[in-house]
Amino acid sequence: MLQFSKVGPEAYVGDLVVYLARQPGKGTPRCTNNGAVDGVIRRVHALGDFSGKEGEHLLFYPEKGRQGIPSAKRILVVGLGKDGLNRELFRKAGGTIASLAMKSKVQELLLVVPDLACDMAEMVEGLAEGLVLGAYRFKKYKTKNDPDASGEMLNQAALYAVDHKGLDKALKLGEIGAQAACQARDMANEPASHWTPAHFSKYGRQLAAAHGMTCTVLDHARLKKLGLGGILAVNQGSACPPEMVILEYAVKPSAPTLLLVGKGLTFDSGGISLKPSAGMEEMKYDMCGGAAVLCAMQAVAQAKLKGLNLVAIVPATENLPGPAALKPGDVITQYGGKTVEVVNTDAEGRLILADALAYGIKRYKPDMVIDVATLTGAVIIGLGHHRTGLLSNNDDLCDRLFAAGDRSGEPLWRLPLDPEYTKQLKSEIADFKNVGKKDGGTITAAAFLKEFIGETPWAHLDIAGTAWDFTEKSYIPKGPSGIAVRTLFDFVRNWKG
C-alpha cells in the first residue's frame, strides 16, 4: 500500500531513500531536494559516471552521521532525462526504482517527490503506477528461493513531499489502476488447469460481493436455452463446461451505459485445427481480454467512479480437440440466429465474442461497446508488440480510447474496417465463414464481429501483440503485461458526455 510519509528523508532510517534528478542542458544534474546528496552527484558526474539520463541511476551507501545526508541504509538517485515531463516518464521512473530496490533486497523505501515545473498530480500518479507495476513478480509456484533472483515484492513504499495537499487522490488512483493490472497479470500467469471458466465465475462473484456489484453466471444449460451457439460449439471438445460471467456496476439510470466484453479462452489448442506444439503453452494467455475487463471493473468499483454504468461480459471456455469437438466445415447458429460455416476451428475467439456482443447489446441496450481480445496473430505481423490494434464504427469512441491509451502508456493504432473486408467472409452454405483469406486477418476478424453489433458505437481492441511480450519497459515484466486494464480505467475516469 502506498502512502505519503510524514517523516522526511533526513529522519528516515529505512532501507532506501530515493531522489529524482533531471539531466541539465549544461552543468551538473541536481536532485533539487538535498544539497549534500547533490554534492555526491557532482563528484560522480565529474567522473563521467552519472549525468541524469532517463533511467540512469546512482546507488550509494552513506556514512552514518554525515551532515546533511539521510540516515537510510542506501540512497538511490534516478535520472529523468532532459525531455518533456509526462506521466509515462514518471511511470518508467517508478518502475526503475522498484526494480533496483528489489535487486538490492530492499523491503521498504521512501521516494522524495521532486519540485519540478509540471503537473504534480500527474507526476505522483505516474510514480505510483510505476512502483506497483514495476514491483510485480509471480512466484506462486516457486518452492525455493533463487539466490540470483531479485527480492520479494516491496513491503512498503512511501512518498514524501513538503506539501502533498491535493495529491492523495492521485496517489490512490495510480495505485488502484496498477494493482488491478497486476491482478490481470496474476490471472494470465496461472496455468490453464488453475484458471478455468469456473475461476472467472468465482472471481466475478467475489468482486460483486466486495464492491456492491451484481454478478450473473450463465452455465451450460442456460447458454443452451438462450441459443448462444458460438460458445457452445467452441466448448464441445472440452470436458470443462463453459460459463458466461456478467458483472454489472450501476451508478444512476440517467448515466450512459458502457458494455465491456472480454475474450475468456482459458486455453486454446486450436481445436481440430491444431496449433503447432512450439509455444502452445502461451495459449493459457488467451484469456487476457477477459481478465482485462473484469480487472477494469475492479478498479472502477474501488475508485467509486460515477460517470458511467458498466456491464462486463466474459464468455469463458477452453478450445480443445476432444471426441465431440467442432470440426472444420461444421455450420453453427450464433445468438440471434445468424449461421456461420466454421472453416477453421482455431478462429474460435470471434465465435464466442459474437455471442457475447449480440447478447449484451440486446439485453442491456448499451450506449457504447468495447471488446478486448487476443484475437489474431495477424495483428502481431502488422503492429508487432508495441501497439494494440483498434477497429471501430465510431470516430468519437476511437478518439477517447486513443487519449486513454496515450495517458496509460498503452498506445493504440486504428485499422480500417471497409465493407470490402466483409466480402471475404462470404460463405456458399451459411451467412458467413469464420475466416477469409490470410491477408487482412485482423480486419476480417473485426469485420466478422461487426455483423453482430448493429448501430451501437463499438470499438474492438486486438491485444494479441500486447497482452504478453509487450514493449520492454521498466514496469512491464516478461510474460503477461496486464494490457488494457488501465486504458479502460482511464477511459471511464475521464468520461465526459
Three-class DSSP category at 439:
coil
Q: Which of 275, 327, 338, 414 is catalytic?
A: 275
Active site residue 137: no
Q: DSSP string of 255-279?
A: S-EEEEEE-EEEEE--TTSPPPSTT
Count Cα atoms within 13 angstroms, Cβ side, for 164: 23
* Single-letter code of the amino acid located at 132: V
Closest CA to 483 of 249, 295, 272, 208: 295
Rounded distance between C-alpha atoms, residue 152 and residue 146, angstroms: 11
Rounded distance between C-alpha atoms, residue 182 and residue 327, angstroms: 37
Q: What is the DSSP letter of 67?
A: T
Sign of CA dihedral 160, 121, 138, 183: positive
Rounded distance between C-alpha atoms, residue 447 and residue 417, angstroms: 7
Q: Which of 263, 350, 387, 473 is catalytic?
A: 350
Closest CA to 228 of 330, 126, 356, 339: 356
Give residues with Cβ within 8 angstroms of 43, minimum separation 6: none
Give the burial string for 364-403 (b: 16+ CB within 10 Å, else e).
bebebbbbbbbbbebbbebbebebbbbbbbbeebbebbbe
Given a contact cutoff of 8 angstroms between Cβ atoms, the answer to whether 114 and 97 are in contact is no
Given a contact cutoff of 8 angstroms between Cβ atoms, the answer to whether 206 and 301 are in contact is no
Q: At what angle do helices 441-450 and 349-364 cross, to 10 degrees?
A: 30
Rounded distance between C-alpha atoms, residue 16 and residue 372, angstroms: 39
Rounded distance between C-alpha atoms, residue 371 and residue 313, angstroms: 9
Active site residue 350: yes
Please give the radius of gyration of the chain, using alpha carbons only, rounded to the nearest integer: 24
Bridge partners (DSSP) of residue 468 are: 480
Bridge partners (DSSP) of residue 388 are: 412
Catalytic residues: 275, 350
